[in-house]
Amino acid sequence: MALMLFGLVCNVSAAPAPAAYFWEIEYIGSTDYPYWEDVFGSQTSTVQNHGGTVEATIIVVGYSSNIVLTYNGSPMSLYGVQDMDLDGDGTIDAWRYYYISSGPSGYMQLIDSGVVKDTMFVQ
């Protein structure tokens, strides 16, 4: 496919990213613990005590337009997205999302199309 960009013709042949197949809550930070706590892998709870304003990053490999991160049952506010090319082939195949909310300790859930993909208890 040819694309006209600023008067130049460019060939574009990148395939779209596959449907999402990996979801994970990566990092959590807060006003009570103002550092990013690494929580990815098999961890189901934060080690540090968090509270006040709570921020989180999630990673999604593959494409989805139905991602929601909740905290104590309420959707968190999305404030940033980072595109990622994991294998260096020029195709964006993963996304890191940045969320913020506030509240006491509770459960954080990563949901895609109504299905819970990851859960973390935030102390």
> pLDDT band at 5, cuts 50/70/90?
very low
Q: What is the CATH number of the domain that holds 81?
A: 2.60.40.2870
> What is the C-alpha separation between 117 and 58, in angstroms, rounded?
11
Q: What is the mean pLDDT of residues 77-102?
A: 94
In a domain, 12, yes or no: no
Terminal-residue alpha carbon distance, the chain: 51
In a domain, 15, yes or no: no
Please say whether the dihedral angle defined by the alpha carbons of residues 33, 76, 25 and 105, taken in this order, is positive or negative. positive
List strands edge to edge, sheet with 94-102: 37-38, 22-30, 53-61, 94-102, 77-84
In a domain, 47, yes or no: yes
Which amino acid is it at 16? P
In a domain, 13, yes or no: no
Looking at the structure of the chain, the number of domains it has is 1
In a domain, 11, yes or no: no
> pLDDT band at 26, cuts 50/70/90?
very high
In a domain, 42, yes or no: yes
SS3 119: strand
Q: What is the pLDDT of residue 64?
A: 92
Instruction: Calculate the alpha carbon distances from 80 to 35, 61, 64, 100, 106 in Å.
Output: 18, 16, 16, 10, 23
In a domain, 85, yes or no: yes
Q: What is the pLDDT of residue 105?
A: 86
Which pTM does this prediction carry? Answer: 0.83
In a domain, 45, yes or no: yes
* Residue 60 structural domain: 22-122
